[in-house]
Structure 1
Amino acid sequence: MSLLRQPILLLARSSGVKKLVSTMPVTSGIVTGYVPGESTEAAVEASAGLIDDGLKVTLDYLGEDTLDSQQADATVAAYVELLAALGSRALPRSAEVSVKLSAIGQAIPEIGDKLALENARTICRAARNAGTTVTLDMEDHTTTDRTLAVLRDLRKDFPETGAVVQAYLHRTERDCRQLAHEGSRVRLCKGAYNEPDDVAFQDKIDVDKSYVRCLKVLLGGDGYPMIATHDPRMVEIAASLASRYGRAQGSYEFQMLYGIRPDEQRRLAGIGETVRVYVPYGQEWYGYLMRRLAERPQNLSFFLKSLISKK
């Protein structure tokens, strides 16, 4: 599967292939099955539909690797517009936003960390004014410490800001212990980047074991765990651990991607669990889909299976 990585990345940069994928009858359905659209309106409409089904959402305006301040400003403006639109539809009680620091300037040489913090503050302020929250997405391991540093600064004024940790990193159980305090919202995912073995577990069983150890820390702590997984076994283990630690429904939540296992999302919500759907949108949807495959090529088989049966 690793042989597919470079071809997938090459395709991700092809505007011609993007046009072909988005206009062919079958594949255009694939695109809208995983990304609701490019506009704020499309994202808000998709969110309203999910909320009507008893789900919550977190929205991600797609874009990474921002290398100039104007592009970062445009991304911030898109989030401010989104939050205003959510507010006009009375959706913020069930809808928040997820932000990648790389999209708002973190990677810009010399000024990146300062600019990303300032831009994140702007988005957090707009979210608070709208009555909702922000979660800082986590990216590859080289940005982990910098992202957590921005999080600490943000939480001085916006303590409701959520964190993300990735179970496949060796460090994450320790990070969970530091983050599992009262008032802290923490999303636990397995991780999707192609990381070296000196910083990340490579075997699925080791990643799963780390995920469970991190679940125990978060569910046994005083924060608000956000359990991001599509793995039926992990969902079952998380529910069992929640019961073991005396966690009432609503004191934690499950999270899944838009278009992945929608029936399971509704099933969990139907038995009283809080379920939040990660909704990506924007003009960079093609890169999002292709990078998801390329970052960890094992995702390709899961993606293809999900196209056959979106259960």
Structure 2
Amino acid sequence: MFTNVLRPALLAASRSPRVERSVSGMSATRKLVDRFVAGSSEEQAAAAIRNLRGSDRFVTIDYLGEDTTDIRQARATVSHYLEMLRMLAELPESAESVRPLEVSLKLSALGQSLSHDGHAIARDHAHQICTAAMAAGVWVTVDAEDHTTTDSTLAIVRELRVDFPWLGTVLQAYLRRTESDCRDFAGPGSRIRLCKGAYREPATVAFQDRAEVDGSYLRCLEVLMHGDGYPMVATHDPIMIEAAYRAAAAAERKPDEFEFQMLYGIRDEEQRRLVADGQQLRVYVPYGDEWYGYFMRRLAERPANLAFFLRSLRPGARR
């Protein structure tokens, strides 16, 4: 029932300004938001980063925001990333082949959705951030969004990789095109974060059945593990984690030749277990005030997240 009814409803709500006003006004909302989001400022995010690095976890950090239609807001987002990179450059990190610190970018937050020259504006803003990241010794990965942005996003990634061959990108297994995209992007030096997908998509472009999505994820995982790049396995699913172990072994990959990725605030014990098992694990750490869309997608992903939120709404519940 959750997959067939509630998940689509929550994903639809993630794009609704009316629902956003209602949810944002609930006193219980902040409790769960704090579980998933590392504060609103660069200083608060940096504190979370230091804590995660203290337990030998890698970090990728995202300044929240998407679907920007105001050039001033896009420029403000760039400024936040530049400030974060200045702070990250001050953290003591060795120049390893695998960078412990990374930032993640949503191109729609950088101006991709602007009606005039959005593609070029987002590309130039991302280039500015990548330049600062390179100077700071920090990686960058370009996030995936809904399917309408995929062609533009991957085109920008190709353009940026001319100057920044270490640039990563995200591919979503629920899209029917993704297995082919994995083959195209699994070349030398590539970094691909493979996730299942978190947007509401039509059946014409995306698998709707959970078993089909899982099957696509496994096929894509095999392509990336046997490719020449650096796979980043973004999943909380125990079945997919075990599959990644098997695929890495079959491809004769060492633990430092791929990594697992999980979200901030989700399955912390499993994150620590993977690190203790000798695996590389990177935590996706979002921060900022534009948390609503991200928050709703987290509720849509797992019944446990929604149940936790609903329990906090009950009269007498501890806030």
Same fold (TM over 0.5): yes
> In structure 2, what is the equivalent of residue 289 of structure 1?
295
SS in 2 for 1:157: coil
Within-5 A mapping of 1:124-139: 124-139=130-145
Instruction: Check whether the contact 2:36–2:264 (CA below 8 A) recurs between aligned residues.
Output: yes
Match for residue 74 of structure 2 among 54, 68, 72: 72
Native 8 Å contact 2:198 2:297 kept in 1: no
Counterpart of 1:202? 208
Do the aligned partners of residues 7 and 202 (structure 1) sit closer, same or farther apart at CA in structure 2, a change above 3 Å counting? closer
Alignment partner of 1:252 is 2:225: no
8 Å contact from structure 2 (residues 61, 102) kept in 1: yes
2:20 matched to 1:13?
yes
Q: What do the CA deviations read for 1:252-288 (whole angstroms, capped 9, x no partner)?
A: 0000000110100010011110000000000112342
Give the corresponding residue for 1:116: 122
User: Percent sequence identity over matched residues?
Assistant: 52
> Which residue does 1:304 correspond to in 2?
306
Equivalent residue letter for 2:83: E
- Given that 2:45 and 2:287 are in contact with CA atoms closer than 8 Å, whether structure 1 keeps it comes out as yes
Structure 1 runs, 4 residues or longer, greater than 4 Å off: 3-8, 305-308
Q: Residues 134 and 7 of structure 1: is their aligned pair in 2 closer, same or farther, counting only changes over 3 Å?
A: closer
Distance (Å, rounded) in 2 between the aligned partners of 1:33 and 1:6 = 22
Q: 1:219 aligns with which of 222, 225, 234?
A: 225
Cα distance in structure 1, aligned partners of 2:200 and 2:11 = 10
Q: Counterpart of 2:41?
A: 39
Asked if the contact 1:12–1:287 (Cα under 8 Å) also holds between the matched residues in 2, the reply is no
- Preserved CA contact (<8 Å) 1:159 1:184: yes
Cα RMSD (Å) of the superposition? 1.8
Q: What amino acid is the match of 1:195?
A: E
Q: Secondary structure at the match of 2:203?
A: coil
Q: Does the CA contact (< 8 Å) of 2:192 and 2:232 recur in 1? A: yes
AA matched with 1:129: A
Q: Match of 1:158?
A: 164
Structure 2 Cα separation of the partners of residues 76 and 204 of structure 1: 36
Structure 2 contact 199–297 (Cα < 8 Å) conserved: no
Q: Deviations over 1:11-43 (max 9, x none)?
A: 6531x642433xx5xx54322111110000011
**Which amino acid in 2 is paired with 1:67?**
T
The aligned residue for residue 57 of structure 2 is 55
Is the partner of 2:26 in helix, strand or coil? helix
- The question of whether the paired residues in 2 share the 8 Å contact of 1:188 and 1:225 is answered with yes
- Matched position secondary structure for 2:78: helix
Gaps of 5+ in 2: 1-5, 312-319
* Structural mapping, 1:97-112, within 5 Å: 97-112=103-118
Deviations 1:187-210 (A, max 9, x none): 000001111111111000000000
Distance apart, 1:89 and its partner CA: 2.2
Cα distance per residue 1:40-84 (max 9 Å; x no partner) = 001111011001011001000001111121111000000000000
Seen in structure 2, the aligned counterparts of structure 1 residues 113 and 272 have a Cα distance that, compared at 3 Å, is same
Task: After superposition, give the CA deviation of every residue in 1:130-189 in whole Å (9 maximum; x if it has no partner).
Answer: 001110001111111110000000000011110110001111000000111110000000
Q: Which amino acid aligns with 2:271?
A: Q
Which of 167, 174, 177 aligns to 2:173? It is: 167
Q: TM-score, normalised by structure 2?
A: 0.89
Q: How many residues align?
A: 299
Secondary structure in structure 1 of the residue aligned to 2:45: helix
Counterparts of 2:10 and 2:144 in 1: how far apart (Å)? 24
